[in-house]
Copies of this chain bind each other. A is one copy, B any other.
Amino acid sequence: MTEQGGLTRRGILGVGAGAALTGAFTGVAGTYAARRAEAAPSPAEAADRYDPAAPVPFHGAHQAGITTPAQDRMHFVALDVTTDDRQQLISTLKAWTRAAERMTAGAEAAPGGVVGGGPYGVPQDTGEAYDLEASGLTITIGFGPSLFDDRFGLADRRPEGFEDLPAFRGDDLDAARCGGDIGIQACANDPQVAVHAIRNLVRIGFGTVSVRWSQLGFGRTSSTSTSQVTARNMFGFKDGTNNLKAEDPAALAEHVWVQPDDVPGKAAWMAGGSYLVARRIRMHIEVWDRTNLQEQEQVIGRTKGQGAPLGQRQEFDAVDLAKKGTDGQPAIPETAHIRLASHEHLKGIRLLRRGYNFTDGSDGVGHLDAGLFFIAFCRDAAKQFVPMQKALASKDALNEYIEHNGSAVFACPPGVRRGGYWGEPLFS
């Protein structure tokens, strides 16, 4: 009464994903270049041929899930490592990598999938994504500052300046939503595929890691490609209009990817990686929803309908911080969110934002627990995110309506070569 072997998610291993798994490997640089070339057509062409069910290549110079056009849904988990055994941690990273290669290609976490191993074996895939497509799944791993303590002999490999984020004015952090030895971001166009990926990695890591916190994001807020339309956050405003985009490799090299010179000596493993900053930002939407349109637009610095910078007409019109309104005051107020977060204001600082809207039930006092799970990738969190957040924390008009209650930072190593494993250079 038990099916034996041979089952694959929609038989996809036999077709598209099979090619991805078994096709000739063109080398790290080649793979990355090929993905870059993919992005070369015009945004309209790219959008036309975008298939939300298709797989995203796993291997490359950089991890997928950073400049990959932001998928619609996300599941994020922060893990504590519960062993002190370095080899066990490495074995888990290897097993995770094999599973991630398979799942991102649209296959189960292990060969044989939900019934592999026979009736007396434990299924090596939990099965809830068995009939679903690859759905653009990407899985991106990062290591928290706490991993670089004495347990695993990694203390001298911590990149300079990589440490827990400092306290910011107004923070209301919940320790149960902060930190973690390891962070894993799964993004997909089907939430069940993202949840399945995290769950199976947690299952594989049983005995090595345990879940510290996790977060489901139901809708992307940020575009990371010119092929995507700008999405809206829970304040109803377009978010991430001026985000860095995958189609601008020079800007990514400057602001997102860790360069070899940034990480000399024993920290060199991080070259080609990026730092992921996560902040759980509760939005007091009920208060916001009773605020008039002018106040909302002055707080954000953009119009609500079009998303145009105040003083301009269209979403992508340039932000002009100097422009005055008819009343002689700055069109974009001094405390407006987009002014304080702008690279003009921050002496050139930019981040690649990749956040998600969340709704996690209610708070027990009659309000929805909703907001933005902010994710940003940057070349140096201490030099980019920290000064940006300090500027925002000091006088952003938005602070009246939000509350940062979760925080973490992870060092995401570079991409994985074929046959390698996540973080291999760190342990070599």
Contacts and interface: CB of A to CB of B under 8 A. Distances in A.
A218 B192 contact: yes
A428 interface: no
Contact of A285 (B75, B199, B304, B311): B199
Contacts of A214: 359, 361-362, 368
Nearest to A195: B359
A389 interface: no
23 contacts: A1-B297, A2-B293, A77-B368, A80-B366, A117-B293, A122-B289, A122-B290, A122-B292, A126-B234, A126-B289, A127-B232, A128-B234, A131-B229, A190-B219, A192-B219, A195-B218, A195-B357, A195-B359, A213-B361, A214-B362, A216-B360, A216-B361, A360-B360
A188 to B, nearest CB: 11
How often does this chain occur in the complex, in copies? 2
A291 interface: yes
Interface in A198-247: 198-199, 202-203, 206, 210-216, 218-219, 229, 231-237
Contacts of A62: none
A123 B299 CA distance: 15
Contacts of A118: 293
Interface in A63-81: 73, 75, 77, 80
* Residue among A114, A118, A131, A293 with max Cβ neighbours from chain B (10 Å): A293
Contacts of A114: 236, 293, 304-305
Nearest to A366: B210
* Residue among A75, A216, A294 with max Cβ neighbours from chain B (10 Å): A216
Interface of A: 1-3, 7, 73, 75, 77, 80, 114-115, 117-123, 125-131, 176, 190-192, 195, 198-199, 202-203, 206, 210-216, 218-219, 229, 231-237, 285-286, 289-294, 296-297, 303-306, 308, 310-311, 325, 331, 357, 359-362, 364, 366-368, 370
